[in-house]
Structure 1
């Protein structure tokens, strides 16, 4: 397909600056120790997208993952607007920023349509992608709760209330019950077994 590759590459160069932008909402919630960048967050959102479609095969995986990957790309221009910021915005700048960033190509038009569909919650994939975004917040909050940040518990409760889909709520139940360090505890016991040491019990 013929397209304006120069404009597309220009947008991708711009998107690379996202790695320099730290997410603001979690910093307010959990303190300055949170250094997660926007691309890191989007990676976890995309992992939840794969899981969401695995639970509900009726979802279009390609569309859902596209929504998950690009959902915060415009924040290279707007910054990461957290819940407090949004109290003072009468017009949401995200759609305009996304469209401006990707204008001048057929791919940009396609991505803008998908981004708008998500923003307006016009499809099952859009609703699912919003829940994936929320689940990425929830798993970060659970990690910090397990590390001793007591305030994270209240925010987890708020985050769970924002979930819309049955799949999202089901995943959230597991996140709440699971220890964020369980994977490492199991690995440590594998290593202990390799050295003929008894497994250690964790609570």
Structure 2
């Protein structure tokens, strides 16, 4: 098959993440939770912010975060409870290898490399991407809690406990001390 056709198919596959919901939020009672793509978008932004704060490469951290959940096009978003019952969960590196089969070599290497770096957790950029994943979950939990989903507190607490970088912990504490719409109040010149 032509590499351009394979690449177009791969882009369509990636687009399915816009329709996949993050399943853990259903356990918190959220009726229409964020999609995997929405989560990955903000995770990528956060990764670039954390990398900048940590003295790492923001572009590399954002790239790693962009690709960290793309394997869910094939495995689905299996929440932590569900993973307990799924035997031999597929390694994200194996999924990336399958997904990128037939793509131009530089593209396949880029995707596989980003996924492998995230999974290995051996670079500052990978640490920032992982912390960004947890910080995004914490922020989303705060937003859901503000909307009345009190059960989101479990995700807030668990995410907070898993953040490892100094900058990630500082951002988590700042978010916890505020309100999800404080940015709007500040932009409008309102006092809280």
TM-score over 0.5 for the pair:
yes
Out of 77, 82, 95, the residue aligned to residue 85 of structure 1 is: 82
Q: Residue 158 in 1 paired to residue 158 in 2?
A: yes
Unaligned runs of 5+ in 1: 191-198
Secondary structure (helix, strand or coil) at the match of 1:103 reads coil
Q: Is the 2:68–2:114 Cα contact (8 Å) retained in structure 1?
A: no
Question: Residue 136 of structure 1 aligns with which residue?
Answer: 136
Shift of 1:18: 1.4
What TM-score does the superposition give when structure 1 sets the normalisation length? 0.84
Paired with 2:185 and 2:59, the residues of 1 have a C-alpha distance of 34
Q: How many residues align?
A: 188
Secondary structure (helix, strand or coil) at the match of 1:179 reads coil
Question: 1:130-182, CA deviations, whole angstroms, 9 ceiling, x for partnerless residues?
Answer: 11011110001111222332222233112111112112111111110111121
Q: Residue 27 in 1 paired to residue 26 in 2?
A: yes
Alignment of 1:1-203 (within 5 A): 4-29=3-28, 31-57=29-55, 59-93=56-90, 94-104=92-102, 105-106=104-105, 107-187=107-187, 189=188, 202=192
Larger radius of gyration between Structure 1 and Structure 2 = 1
Paired with 2:113 and 2:18, the residues of 1 have a C-alpha distance of 24
Paired with 2:125 and 2:186, the residues of 1 have a C-alpha distance of 34
Moved over 6 A (4+): none
Unaligned runs of 5+ in 2: none
Shift of 1:8: 2.2
Paired with 1:136 and 1:92, the residues of 2 have a C-alpha distance of 24
Shift of 1:90: 4.3
